[in-house]
Amino acid sequence: MSESLLGPLVTALVSALSAWLLTPILHPFLEEDSQRTGCLLRVPAAALAALAGLGAASIAGNASELVAFTAVGVGCALLVVTDLLVRRLPDVLVAGTAVALLLPLASAAAMTDEWSSFGRSILSAVVLLAGYFLLAFIAPNGLGLGDVKFAVVVGAFLGWFGWAEVAVGTVLGFVINGVVALAILVSGRGNRTSDVPFGPSMILGAVIAVMMSF
């Protein structure tokens, strides 16, 4: 197997295994009747993390970036599963994902002297946090506080690549969530007041924005 294929596959495997092993930390955040044990919860988390690992390997320019993007991918996989099940983005998972992203990015900045990228990452995290907080204040039924806090992770990730990615990724998150809400409404599976998890849309929008830049 060529080295160009081996690297992404190893990253995907490590990501999937990490999500598989970390899945039990989700149990305290799940309702009694919503708890999933064994493969029912581990498989989707591991599958999402594996996809994130492949993506991380394709965009990382150095070892520190690879660690950062792989870690945020695993964290986001766990957050997606939780948000879809109980409409919640737990603080401990959001904070852990943010730290797991920012520490390796700081290392990457030190290695490559790209402190401007790290500064932009921090600034965009603050900007998105403020923006989402304002939106949640204006329309509390549209965004939860978990979404507001998770904006820090999305902003930091997108900010590493550039302001264009921040803008596109943010807009795409809202567009994707709107499409999902419309699909639920049209299919008759919900109404205008149905609670649609926003975290997965934020993640997908960010991923698409970054992939578009490569």
Instruction: Give the structural domain span for 94.
Output: 1-113
Whether residues 80 and 24 share a domain: the answer is: yes
Two tokens at 142?
């549209």
Mean pLDDT by 10 residues, the chain (214 residues): 74 95 85 57 92 95 96 97 91 96 97 94 98 92 91 98 98 96 84 83 97 91
Whether residues 106 and 120 share a domain: the answer is: no
Whether residues 54 and 33 share a domain: the answer is: yes
Entry pTM: 0.92
Number of domains in the chain: 2
From the list 63, 94, 69, 92, the residue with the least C-alpha distance to 80 is: 94
Whole-Å CA distances, 29 to 78, 91, 131, 151, 173: 11, 10, 27, 20, 24
What would the pLDDT profile of 140-159 be if each residue is shown by its tens digit? Answer: 777 899 999 999 999 999 99
Whether residues 84 and 29 share a domain: the answer is: yes
Whether residues 139 and 202 share a domain: the answer is: yes
